[in-house]
């Protein structure tokens, strides 16, 4: 029996190092670097939005359904906005009757735009809610890093949830 001189542990067992063995780690390393690069971009790149308006519509028939005893929630109890990104609340009344939002009377077909200039929590009377109350939380602009990454993930989750046609389970 002749002992061969192995140059690596894999050759000692009869397996040779070849391009396939060395390239096996190339794909996972490349994918990991791409994922880290994507997370870095999501955390550090400036957030750009097409519009600062966040639209909520009171649908046609809301008042009639509520007067018929149906317990419906057409708007979230709490609306979350972000200063400098989506800090303008836009309410549209598509119902057949006037609706009250804070001190404003929204006639059928009318829209109301309310810009916010500071981060805070605001409470308004709202006849579109069974409770008669709507809360608006305006959060500060997220700082680059984890805050920006968290903001992007929340927006992505909300968009996917809405596109799937699922009911609101969390605050907007």
Query: Average pLDDT for residues 78-96, to the nearest whole number?
Result: 89
Q: What are 4-20's pLDDT values in tens digits?
A: 565 555 555 555 555 56
Q: How far apart are CA 65 and CA 105, in angstroms?
A: 20
Residue 114: is its pLDDT beyond 50?
yes
pLDDT at 50 (0 to 100): 65
Report pLDDT for 119.
93
pLDDT at 73: 78
Structural tokens at position 26: 């190339």
Which residue shows structure tokens 């990104």?
85
Which parts of 3-128 fold into alpha helices (H)?
9-12, 19-23, 26-44, 62-67
b/e sequence 132-154, b meaning 16+ C-beta within 10 Å:
eebbbbbbeebeeeeebbebbeb
- Record the pTM: 0.61
- Give the containing element (helix H, strand E) for 123: strand 120-125
24-80 pLDDT, tens digit per residue, is: 777 777 787 777 777 666 666 666 766 678 888 999 998 888 889 888 778 888 888
């Amino acid at each position: 029996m002749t002992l061969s001189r192995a140059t690596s542990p894999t050759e000692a067992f009869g397996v040779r190092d070849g391009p396939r063995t060395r390239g096996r780690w190339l794909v996972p390393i490349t994918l990991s670097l791409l994922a880290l690069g994507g997370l870095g971009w999501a955390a550090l790149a400036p957030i750009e939005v097409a519009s600062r308006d966040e639209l909520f519509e009171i649908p046609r028939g809301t008042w009639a359904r509520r007067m018929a005893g149906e317990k419906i929630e057409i708007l979230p109890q709490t609306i979350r906005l972000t200063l400098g990104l989506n800090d303008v609340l836009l309410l549209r009344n598509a119902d057949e009757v006037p609706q009250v939002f804070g001190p404003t009377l929204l006639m059928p077909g009318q829209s109301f735009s309310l810009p916010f200039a500071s981060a805070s929590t605001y409470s308004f009377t709202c006849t579109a809610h069974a409770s008669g109350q709507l809360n608006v939380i305006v959060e500060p602009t997220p700082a680059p890093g984890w805050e920006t990454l968290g903001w992007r993930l929340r927006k992505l989750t909300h968009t996917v949830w809405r596109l799937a046609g699922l009911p609101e389970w969390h605050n907007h």
